[in-house]
């Protein structure tokens, strides 16, 4: 039962982040490891900053996929 509650909490947290335009860091890391294993993975802080800049008009850098 607690395993299901933990999974539900993870999905609810992910849904809340997506609603405010903040993609999930764990999904980003998984994507990078599978699709771009030769490229470095951003830290959570770098990822957060990059996503904020992309959403709210910061510097425009290269986009993935």
State the pLDDT confidence band at 11, using cuts at 50, 70 and 90: confident
pTM value is: 0.58
Mean of pLDDT over the chain:
82
Q: Which residue has the higher pLDDT, 44 or 1?
A: 44
Maximum pairwise Cα distance, the chain: 45
d(CA 61, CA 10): 30
| Nearest residue to 23 via CA among 7, 58, 31 | 31
Does the pLDDT of residue 2 top 60, yes or no? yes
Provide the pLDDT for residue 63.
61
Domain ranges in the chain are: 2-56
For 29-52, the pLDDT digits (tens) are 999 999 999 999 999 999 988 888
């Amino acid at each position: 039962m607690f395993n299901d509650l933990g999974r539900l909490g993870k999905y609810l947290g992910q849904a809340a982040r997506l609603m405010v335009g903040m993609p999930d860091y764990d999904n980003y890391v998984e994507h990078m490891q599978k699709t771009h294993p030769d490229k470095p993975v951003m830290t959570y802080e770098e990822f957060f900053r990059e996503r904020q800049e992309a959403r709210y008009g910061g510097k425009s850098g290269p986009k993935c996929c």
